Each structure stands twice: as structure tokens, then as C-alpha cells.
Structure 1
């Protein structure tokens, strides 16, 4: 079992990357997330309107300059500060049961679901709907 640190921000917007639309959140907002684990560091961006997800590998723990948790929070504040609702820092074990992951979320006042992908990155799924890559970043 390994520990994953997930730093993520809930945003006050809901958007669609492929339709180039952003508006104030009605029910579920967009997220920006950083996953730190044994499989490396990942940046995850979700777009709530069409459940689109963009995932970027930032590197491994063995890189000369690995991206740190404090850099993740700085990045979120710098680039999303105007639409930032709240930042969360969650630590959990992987693999873990759905019940254990739900407990971790509940302790932080969150519903939704923690998902760990076969590639090794984790992300917070705020509405338990399937997210998949639907657009290519420009």
C-alpha cells in the first residue's frame, strides 16, 4: 500500500473546453488537481459541463526537480485565484476500499468519489459521473 497526496481545488465555474464555454457553476464545478504518489506526479483538470478531463504527467519522485505540494498550491492560487472556491489536501492509501475512500472524503466535508487510475494518478470526482478525455488542449 502506498500513500497518495491529492491537492485539489473546487472552482466556482463550470466549463466545456471543447465548446470554449465557461460560466458560473450551477451544480458541480470544474476542478484543478495535483496527485502525488509512488507512480509520479500528475496534474488533472476537469471540465464539469461535459465531464472532460485533461491529465498531464509532471514527472517522478526521482526527477532532479520534482513538483512539490507547495508549488501545486501556489500554482492553483496564481492561475485560478479569481475562480477558486476552496483548496483541499487529502492523504489516503492506495489501494483502499471504496468505504475507506468515502470516509476520507466525509472527514473533509465532501461527497463525490476518489478515483485511482491504472496509470497511478488519483483524482477527485465531484459528481461520480464518468470523466474521460474529450478534447485536445491547444
Structure 2
């Protein structure tokens, strides 16, 4: 059986920031913002601090953190692999890394035809 293709991956730089944030706050989660504050930015929260609803889906795990997105936003992004990265500069969000002078960002690329057949499934959120 072929290895499933993840919908979300993470850079080493982002892993280093996640480690620092996790050390201070414990288990983390991500939610891809749909346009508030920093536009469409990945937001990092203590696990359970962001209220998920039936309109959210779980795209997978990124470095041990669940990664969620609104279902209607996923309809636009479902053909792309997301890469969680980090860059210097304070964002205007409530994400936990902001006080560190960095912010998480998403880079994306289209899946290849071969990858589409092996994508990790998306999970519905049930509240």
C-alpha cells in the first residue's frame, strides 16, 4: 500500500517555533483563518482554546498538532497541499507565536494527479 499524501506539512523553521510555543503553552492546535485579522493566516492556539463547530474540518496533524479549516474555505483549498512555515514580523492575529516577533504563514501548491489518489482523508468535526 502506498503512503498517504498529507494535506498539511511543516518546515523545520516552523517546527522550531512550535517547540517553543508548546513548551510555554502545552498541546497546540491550528486553525486556518478565513479572513479575519491577518487575512487568511494559520492561527495557533492552546488545544481546545479555539471553539470548533460543525462547519470545520480536520485536514490532518502537523508536527503533533491538529490542523483545522472551515468547510467552505476547504472547498477552495482542497486541491492544494499546505505548508506551514514561519516568517519574521508580528502579525495582527491572536495566534500564540505573535509575541515572539514571528508569525505562521501558509504556502501552497497544487497536488499532482498521482497524489490526488493517495490523499489523507479529511475528518468532519462534530460538536
TM-score (normalizing by structure 2): 0.29
Higher strand share: 1
